[in-house]
Amino acid sequence: MLSLSLSSLSVLLPILLYAAVATASVQFLKLPLLHSSQHHIQTSLSHYRHHRHRQNLKSPVISGAFAGSGQYFVSLHIGSPPQALLLVADTGSDLIWVKCSACRNCSLHSPRSTFFPRHSSSFYPHHCFQRTCRNLAPPPQPNPCNRTKLHSPCRYEYPYADGSLTSGFFSQEIITFNTTTSQQLQLKHFNFGCGFHNSGPSVTGESFNGANGVMGLGRGPISFSSQLGRRFGNKFSYCLMDYTLSPTPTSFLVIGSEQNDVVGVNSKINFTALLVNPLSPTFYYIGIKSVYLNDVKLPIHPSVWSIDELGNGGTIIDSGTTLTLLAAPAYREILAAFKRQVKLPSPAEPIQGFDLCVNISGTSRPSYPKLSFELVGGSVLRPPQGNYFIETSELVECLAMQPINQESGPSVIGNLMQQGFLFEFDRDRSRLGFSHHGCAIR
Ligand SMILES: *[C@@H]1O[C@H](CO)[C@@H](O)[C@H](O)[C@H]1NC(C)=O
Ligand SMILES: *[C@@H]1O[C@H](CO)[C@@H](O)[C@H](O)[C@H]1NC(C)=O
Ligand SMILES: *[C@@H]1O[C@H](CO)[C@@H](O)[C@H](O)[C@H]1NC(C)=O
Ligand SMILES: *[C@@H]1O[C@H](CO)[C@@H](O)[C@H](O)[C@H]1NC(C)=O
Ligand SMILES: CC(=O)N[C@H]1CO[C@H](CO)[C@@H](O)[C@@H]1O
């Protein structure tokens, strides 16, 4: 999901206090990413328990496909005693927030749907006068802060690019992880939004089905990767497995680096620079130099990909967006080239939201032109065709790309295009590693 660019959000938050209450020397957190049914969640969790590593933490990432969602979920245990919630893993925003309910007697609410702060002894809403809160603005606090008023919680409002909004109290909690050696690790002073009012398609619509909140993994100081980064080497990585496979393979989000695996992965990893856009400090930008179809470079002017002086344009890598969205001039070229080369018949009816769809009933295994992106530094991302042609209905496949709808927005490499690759976000070195071989090891 794309958060609105809130440059101010990032300038400010002072050091976010963060402490690990555990004797174990945990070097990374490994969280399963879930993209499937409750049944599959269980599957990933048991897989998770069978992983043997040294002291470490691992949480599942689940595909939201079970709920009709194109998102990947991470399970977060928050509060005392811990309440388990599923959050959308989102590199396109910073705030971590959960749906909150102020119920006193919550036995009427279904568990695992909402966070119940009154059922947690460690819930602590920041006071509006605290620096952590003042630094959160803008967006402006809905009410001016009264310093002397005792119960004056830190209200936040966090907008997403499509107009969706979450608002509530910016708060602090304890979060708990199981390590792979069955120890529990608690992290204190974890800052998150307790979302009492959430509106708009990104946070209430179909793509949000099954989710209880968002885990922002962006570059800003309040994100999950920033709050935990200091402790775990300021790196994170994930592998989004193809959720259409059955059984669904387990995907993982790793905070820190999984040292035992580095040798295997590093030899096959390619890198490109993560570019910084001071006007949108949340996003992880990469630079596209050229796009190729069947190894033929498409005539797209390099300026189509650049970040201009107003901070517009550029290309971000976003786990919280499903399709790939491209600047209109690039999209037009790519679409036209695909249309020229894909010889399959069109479906009887056009498919809403897609400009190129084919009826594959006459082919046993359709083959599409090979798409590749040449990135800054010269590395090349070559997604398998299943990452850009997806089945939208029985025997109909469509090019999983759309033009960006706001002139100014960045192009977005969505999570479908990322499937099957290991992506490592190395924030200190400001580079993105990717490998098509890295997922097997996970
Ligand atoms: C909570 O609600 C349930 C169901 O209405 C009731 O049985 C229970 O006694 C209530 N508990 C408290 C602490 O009020
Ligand atoms: C701030 O809160 C205090 C204590 O509740 C109250 O006495 C005071 O009038 C409030 N000030 C403003 C400006 O609302
Ligand atoms: C840790 O594992 C136990 C036992 O499997 C489970 O009941 C609990 O919910 C897990 N806690 C977390 C924080 O994952
Ligand atoms: C696909 O083509 C087959 C064979 O021509 C036809 O029977 C079927 O209705 C078509 N499906 C769609 C969705 O167009
Ligand atoms: C374009 C590019 O950098 N490709 C490299 C990716 O990594 C593999 C394995 O090290 C190399 O063989 C490729 O040349």
Nearest ligand (C-alpha, residue 119): 1
Report which of 392, 375, 391 is spatially closest to residue 383, judged by C-alpha positions.
375
- Neighbour tally for 233: CB within 10 Å: 17
Tokens representing 191 are 């800052």
pLDDT tens digits, one per residue of 152-161: 899 998 988 8
Nearest CA to ligand 1 atom 6: 107
Q: Which of 260, 281, 301 is the last residue of a domain?
A: 260
Q: Which of 217, 236, 260 is the last residue of a domain?
A: 260
Report pLDDT for 91.
Answer: 95
From 46, 178, 181, the mutation candidate for ligand 3 (largest count of ligand atoms within 8 A of CB) is: 178
Based on the domain organization, do 39 and 181 belong to the same domain? yes
Q: Is 77 in the pocket of ligand 3 (CB under 6 A)?
A: yes
CA dihedral 80, 184, 264, 217 (to 10 degrees): 10
Based on the domain organization, do 79 and 212 belong to the same domain? yes
Beta-bridge partner residues of 188: 19
- For strand 59-63 and strand 72-78, is the pairing parallel, antiparallel, or unpaired? antiparallel
Nearest CA to ligand 1 atom 14: 105
Looking at the chain, how many residues does it have?
442
For the chain, the straight-line distance linking the first and the last C-alpha, in angstroms and rounded, comes to 25
- Neighbour tally for 348: CB within 10 Å: 7
Residue 236 to residue 221: CA distance in whole angstroms = 15
Q: Count how many domains the chain has.
A: 2
Whichever domain contains 327, its CATH number is 2.40.70.10
CB environment 234-249: b (16+ within 10 A), e (fewer):
bbbbbbbbbbeeeebb
User: Looking at ligand 4, which atom is closest to the CA of residue 347?
Assistant: 14
Give me the residue label for tokens 């119920």: 103
Cα 225 to Cα 28, 268, 282, distances in angstroms = 12, 24, 11
Based on the domain organization, do 331 and 276 belong to the same domain? yes
Give me the residue label for tokens 């290309």: 315
Residue 147 to residue 187: CA distance in whole angstroms = 29
Based on the domain organization, do 324 and 181 belong to the same domain? no
HEC string of 190-217? EEEEEEEEEECHHHHCHHHCCCCEEEEC
* Cα angle value 342/345/351 (rounded, 5°): 95
Report pLDDT for 300.
Answer: 97
Report pLDDT for 264.
Answer: 54
Based on the domain organization, do 246 and 301 belong to the same domain? no
Tokens representing 219 are 């570059």
Based on the domain organization, do 340 and 194 belong to the same domain? no
Nearest CA to ligand 4 atom 9: 348
Based on the domain organization, do 397 and 364 belong to the same domain? yes
- Neighbour tally for 7: CB within 10 Å: 15
271 alpha carbon to ligand 5 midpoint, in Å? 9
Query: Contact, 324 vs 415, CB < 8 A?
Result: no
Say if 415 falls within a structural domain: yes
Beta-bridge partner residues of 425: 236, 432
Based on the domain organization, do 66 and 213 belong to the same domain? yes
* Cα angle value 222/236/84 (rounded, 5°): 65
251 alpha carbon to ligand 3 midpoint, in Å? 18
149 alpha carbon to ligand 2 midpoint, in Å? 6
Residue 343 to residue 323: CA distance in whole angstroms = 23
Based on the domain organization, do 182 and 271 belong to the same domain? no
Q: What is the pLDDT along the chain (442 residues), one digit of tens a residue?
A: 776 543 333 222 222 223 333 334 557 778 888 763 322 222 221 122 222 222 233 344 555 554 445 788 899 999 999 999 999 999 999 999 999 998 888 887 777 789 999 999 999 999 988 888 877 755 455 567 888 888 889 999 898 888 888 999 999 999 998 766 677 888 999 999 999 999 987 787 666 777 899 999 999 999 999 999 878 889 999 988 877 777 777 788 988 877 654 445 556 799 999 999 998 899 999 999 999 999 999 999 999 999 999 899 999 999 988 889 999 999 999 999 999 999 999 999 998 889 999 999 989 889 999 999 999 999 999 999 999 999 888 899 999 999 987 777 899 999 999 999 999 999 999 999 999 887 765 4
Nearest CA to ligand 2 atom 5: 149
Q: Is 280 in the pocket of ligand 3 (CB under 6 A)?
A: no
CA dihedral 42, 259, 29, 286 (to 10 degrees): -100
Report pLDDT for 191.
Answer: 96
Nearest CA to ligand 3 atom 2: 178
- For strand 124-125 and strand 83-90, is the pairing parallel, antiparallel, or unpaired? unpaired
What is the residue-wise DSSP string for 74-127?
Answer: EEEEETTTTEEEEEEEETT---EEEEB---SSGGGSPTTSSB-GGG-TT-EEPB
What is the residue-wise DSSP string for 334-402?
Answer: HHHHHHHH--SPPPSSPPTT-S-EEE-TT-SS---PPEEEEETTS-EE---GGGTEEEEETTEEEE-EE
Based on the domain organization, do 304 and 380 belong to the same domain? yes
Cα 442 to Cα 26, 71, 261, 379, 419, distances in angstroms = 18, 19, 8, 23, 14
Residue range of the domain that includes 135: 7-260
Based on the domain organization, do 256 and 269 belong to the same domain? no
Based on the domain organization, do 200 and 305 belong to the same domain? no
- Which residues line the pocket of ligand 5, CB cutoff 6 A? 268, 270, 378-380
Residue 425 to residue 436: CA distance in whole angstroms = 15
Q: Which of 94, 261, 308, 318 is catalytic?
A: 318
Active site residue 318: yes
Cα 345 to Cα 67, 348, 360, 371, distances in angstroms = 31, 9, 8, 20
Report pLDDT for 110.
Answer: 76
Say if 440 falls within a structural domain: no
Q: Is 82 in the pocket of ligand 3 (CB under 6 A)?
A: yes
Q: Which of 216, 233, 260 is the last residue of a domain?
A: 260
Residue 375 to residue 114: CA distance in whole angstroms = 41
